[in-house]
Amino acid sequence: MGKIGFCQIGKNGISDNFIETLKNYFKSNSSVRISVLKSARKEGAEGKKLVKEYSAKIVDKLGKNFTARTIGFVIVVKKWRKMRSRKI
């Protein structure tokens, strides 16, 4: 198992700068754990739905070699060597 990087989504949401930061994390880590802060989401079911939308956006912007899982208000993104089917 490789190293795991940690990152946070704040009130700015998913920007181009955030995606570039993630790409830099994947140069030295096999997966990245992203915490969605309270300022970037709502409470309850609406917040969890928004986190899943963030997850889908991140995978779309990173490319085909990435998959993501949501666990509560945390998104775990993993990089694969080959293209995989996307899990959300």
The fold of the 4-79 domain, in CATH, is Translation Initiation Factor IF3 (3.30.110)
Instruction: Report the percent of the chain where pLDDT is more than 90.
Output: 56
Over residues 21-58, the pLDDT tens digits come to 999 999 888 899 999 998 888 887 888 899 999 999 99
Query: Closest Cα to residue 51, out of 17, 85, 16, 75?
Result: 75
At residue 64, the pLDDT reads 87
Sorted by where each begins, the domain ranges of the chain are 4-79
Bin 6: left if φ > 0, else alpha if -120 < ψ < 50, else beta.
beta
**Backbone φ, ψ for residue 33 (5° rounding):** -105, 120
Q: Is the pLDDT of residue 3 over 90?
A: no
Length of the chain: 88
**Please, which pLDDT band fits residue 76 given cuts at 50, 70 and 90?**
very high
Q: pTM to 2 decimals? A: 0.84
